[in-house]
Amino acid sequence: MSTTPANASTSSAGVAGPRQHPGPANVVAPGHISEPTSQSNFQKVATTHLSFDFNVDFIQKVVSGTVTFTLHKREEHVDELVVDTRDLLIHECFARSSGLDSFNITEHSLQDPPHPIFGGALRIKIDKKTSHVKVKFETTASSSALQWLSPAQTAGKCHPYLFTQCQAIHARSFFPCQDAPGVKATYDARITVPSPLVALMSAVSTSSAKTSHGLTTYHFKQQVPMPSYLVALAVGDLESRELGPRSRVWSEPSMVELAHYEFADTEKFLTTAEQLAGDYVWGRYDLLLLPPSFPYGGMENPCLVFLTPTLLAGDRSLVNVVAHEIAHSWFGNLVTNATWEDFWMNEGFTVFAERRIIAKLYGEQRAGLKAELGHRDLEESVKGYGKDHPFTCLHVDMRANPVDPDDSFSSVPYEKGCAFLEHIERLVGGPTVFEAFLKEYVVKFRFGFVDVQSFRALVEEKFPNVKIDWQTWVYSPGMPPDMGPAQENVLVALAEKVADVWASTGKMPAEAAGANTSWSSDQVCVMLQKLLEIQEKKSLSEHVLQDIDAFFNFSDSRNSEIRFKWDSLGLRMPKPTEACYADTVEFLGEQGRMKFVRPLYKSLFKANKQLALDTFAKNRDNYHSIAQKMIAKDLGLSDSKA
């Protein structure tokens, strides 16, 4: 059992500290880049360091305290600092002049009414001598970045829990900030929480001390500049287990051994990623297994990746998500999309790197299974939006009409982005050439930002004779124009053949012999995905599904990916069975990962509208606010509980 403060190293041996990084001029996006989702004035004056002093109150469900900004002025005669806020109470603002130690109250104003998507701009008066600004504030019940869980909503049932989710534009509801990916800052933090709870952040823990009032204060430091959406906080009854020389896994005590087993390959993923992209610069790489309401598979917060418990399959079959989040340490965290319009530059590069990590560790065939499932997800997304929908472009124009980035996120930036990089790889000469280019890409843009223009310039500099249709790939909607020649994958071919034969003959194919014990979960998912595609053209007979279930025992599966596809298949039958309805409702009540709950609610709504509405009403308060908002839209409801 470990009670070591979050991300602190128990030994200095073999643990690399954060690397040196460029100064302020390199951590603010270049002047030609603006962020349509932010109302801040970072092009005139940017925040390059944040100092947090927070108190976490579980009784009032409030985080209160101060954030202090260190300023870097890009224009000489700037008289205000503008930061983003949403659903915060702003109490006072203070300014400090360069060379002085004390702060003085300064004037401020808050946009009223706030923008319905982007919140209220906080304008703070400064002068030419101002070097630091401090804001005293507190969160509210509407702060979307925070999820407060009662003891009953945790695994241990004894203590409350808090975690944050700031991507894409939710950081402004946690603390005032220049909430744009085009602004990077280092930070330090002082977080006071009730004992015996543990506080963790996306930073390295430097110390902790108990107070005389039944509280514990934790101190953190993040020395590598990063955007606001990567600031993360979690507070709960937490323990850790060592995974390697620079990583450990945290979770509630009852889950920590399961997590320790599931994520045992973390160090292998890290070292393989370093071979692909260069040295890991963040010092620690810890994992936090969150409660089931966490709305994503993972979140790449530096030094402390958040993970969903739906990854606990018991056989390490779903840990590619860890490989994905590790790849983000370079693609997204170190080299960041300059604006949310090019989110694909975070996710497309990361999926590409994730699959290279899987291929290097487990072979091309296994990576091919992941690619096949990803391609099918992309087809589903494009079909769901419509092939001409602007959200099926890699570059999403958010300037003509205000867009909440949450609404535009799907498998498109992930899978279409990865397909584009694979296309470039084929054109420039294959994996060896392109992997060398990737390292150059990281070196050129690390600690900073990248947009399509700067990426294109680098490609054309390195490969001047290669012709790429940037317009079609980046700015045109629909499926990618070139997915490349089909790669032979015997695992995919076998899974699809079993699905085809079983569906057409109504009998178990000979090729399925032993599949219930020898196939990986990915191979099973390929088979189920093929059955879903067959079902769209011709309804499967009920006895076929019964036979498949009897053979694979899907009804008792604890693998979330398999369970999701099996329930999806059952819901799309002409008359779903009561058992299918029951398992779907149970699954929707057990976890809040949007990858699963959103499509299942849509399918359930089509099959049994009232059951879908009743199930959402029952589970709504247990979902994260982001998931609540998106599911409500999917079901045609207002995102207001009223």
Write out the E strands in 271-422: 286-289, 298-299, 304-307, 335-337
- The question of whether 252 is a catalytic residue gets the answer no
SS3 40: coil
- Where does 301-363 have alpha helices with state H? 320-327, 344-362
Distance CA 11, CA 28 (A): 34
The 247-251 sheet, strands edge to edge: 239-244, 247-251, 286-289, 304-307, 298-299
325 an active-site residue? Answer: yes
Q: How far apart are CA 202 and CA 144, in angstroms?
A: 18
Strands 233-236 and 45-57: unpaired
**Catalytic option among 35, 252, 300, 325:** 325
H or E stretch including 125?
strand 120-125
Q: Which of 161, 218, 229, 414 is catalytic?
A: 414
Q: 245 with 42: CB under 8 angstroms?
A: no
Please provide the distance, in angstroms rounded to a whole number, between the alpha carbons at the two ends of the chain. Answer: 45
Instruction: Quickly list DSSP for 521-555.
Output: HHHHHHHHHHHHHHHHHSPPPHHHHHHHHHHH-GG
What would you measure as the largest C-alpha separation in the chain, in angstroms?
A: 82
* Token reading at 83: 């930061």
Q: Do residues 596 and 560 make contact, with C-beta atoms less than 8 angstroms apart? A: yes
CB 104 within 8 A of CB 49: no
Separation of CA 463 from chain center: 32
Catalytic machinery residues: 325, 414
